[in-house]
Chains A and B, each alone.
Chain A
Amino acid sequence: MTDDERQRLARLLPNLKRRASIHQITRCFFDEQGFLEVDTPVRSPAIAPEKEILPFESDGWFLTTSPELYMKRLLAAGYTRLYQFSHCFRKGERGRLHNPEFTLLEWYRIGANYMDMMTDAECLVLTIARELGYGNLLQYRGKTIDLTIPWPRITVSELFHRLAGWDPVLNPDLSRFDEDMVVRVIPHLNPYRPTIMLDYPAPMASLARLKRDEPSVAERAEVFIGGLELANAYSELTDAKEQIERFHNEIEHIRREQGRTMPLPQKFLESLEHLPECGGIALGMDRLVMLFCDASSIDEVMPFTVDTV
């Protein structure tokens, strides 16, 4: 062991201890509400095809990019409240806020919608803050963030109109959307409060259902705190026909633009007709820990990154 590694790991100790506490508090939070913790496969023959998420291949199968499909298969079989800490893998994602292997916390509730999932997220973060002794105020990167709930909610349409000067719901330009999101929108969110972004343009619905009275937007919401994209929630799409069509479109795009072939996740699609209305959310555990460790880089909250393995 080099002195560098010994010192690096010694410096991480306070953050890793805090990380363990956050995991414990999170487990208590869900256990007390009757959620069941599950552990689904990390390696699978098929995953959700998503054009902007590049999976690692493993002996002809894929490393999971999210536990979503397995969680929904459980819900379709009658499970009602589930949560999971899942190691996920996304190729090429490396930066201050990314490591190709990271931890997602996902939870699902039967009978809930995306707004209910946002309420869960608010309560979870506030519970962790209080258990760690912060109360409602959190210091992050030199700013005091007021976590008092409810957190401000704003539609994607309104926010883009205000910060990027155009409306992605009226005019869904996908590539411009992503660049403006990271360059013009996220850096200019209110730094003193969390922000909940609601109602993504329909082409960015992913696995969320479209709004019944306003089908140009999807019931999808995201939480941002301290400039970090923390969690992404859906009113889950339960319409098997629409889901197959969306997957086909993604698979075709991936084949045409990237020359990769992706199989359809058949078992998941077969289970969809039994999936009751439900809400689901994926939260980046590493980033949540970053917030509570005042860490500027994901490297400060994991013992080994892709650069130190």
Chain B
Amino acid sequence: MEVEDCRKGTKVLLDNNPYNIEDAEFMKPGKGRAIYRFRFRNLMDGSSLERTYHSGEKLQEANITTREGQFLYREGDHFVFMHTDTFEQYLINETQLGNKQFYLKEGMIITTLFLSDRPLDITLPIFIETTVTKSDIATRTDTVTAQMKRATLATGLELDVPVFIKEGDTLKIDTRTGNYVERVVTKK
């Protein structure tokens, strides 16, 4: 695509890697050449870079789409997902998912960002509910502050929870912060 048509939010390929244009500045001396200064964010690893272009130059547009998918299971360092419309499966590896892997529950519906057919990233629901698989035994001390202890969840996430939480409890977690929100009371 022409550099003139690139703006904030346009997704492009630089050296075969997908980038989002985070900031676009148009500069031009009255009688002179137009200069475009872009700040790019790498959609794979989050790194950023700045480049300057002149009118007439071209950038390669990245074909970025989003599709709904379901998390099926983990296999080694890969996570297996399925398109909810075609039931085709696709894989995303551990490194690409980063911390998001610790919020994935089997059967969970998420949004996946694709570069052509290549899955790049997923968007999680803001809150998830999952069970405690391991928690320390609280050591009571004589303080009036809320007591917290470490716990591990079924998804693999480790976090601080209140002392009254027991193994097997279902918790509501904020995926943006990784923090405990509340205990979910399940009806027997």
Contacts and interface: CB of A to CB of B under 8 A. Distances in A.
B54 A229 contact: no
A178 B25 contact: no
B29 A229 contact: yes
A179 interface: yes
B26 A178 contact: no
Chain A: interface secondary structure?
A: mixed
21 contacts: A50-B31, A52-B28, A52-B32, A53-B31, A92-B4, A92-B34, A92-B55, A93-B34, A95-B25, A96-B26, A98-B26, A98-B28, A174-B33, A175-B33, A179-B52, A181-B32, A182-B32, A183-B27, A222-B30, A282-B30, A284-B30
B26 A95 contact: yes
A92 B6 CA distance: 12
B25 to A, nearest CB: 6
Contacts of B25: 95-96
Nearest to A104: B30
A232 interface: yes
Interface in B119-172: none
B31 A95 contact: no
A175 B28 contact: no
A264 interface: no
B4 to A, nearest CB: 5
Contacts of B55: 92
Nearest to B55: A92
Interface of B: 4, 25-35, 37, 52, 54-56
- Which 7 A-B pairs have CB atoms at the shortest separation, nearest pair first? A95-B26, A178-B32, A182-B27, A178-B33, A181-B29, A92-B4, A52-B33
B31 A232 contact: yes
B102 to A, nearest CB: 40
The residue among B30, B52, B56 with the most chain A CB atoms within 10 A of its own CB is: B30
A170 to B, nearest CB: 19
Given A95-B25, A98-B26, A229-B29, A183 B34 contact: no
A181 B33 CA distance: 10
Contacts of A112: none
Given A179-B33, A183-B37, A204-B31, 13 more contacts: A52-B31, A52-B33, A92-B34, A93-B26, A93-B28, A95-B27, A96-B26, A175-B54, A181-B29, A181-B32, A182-B27, A229-B29, A257-B56
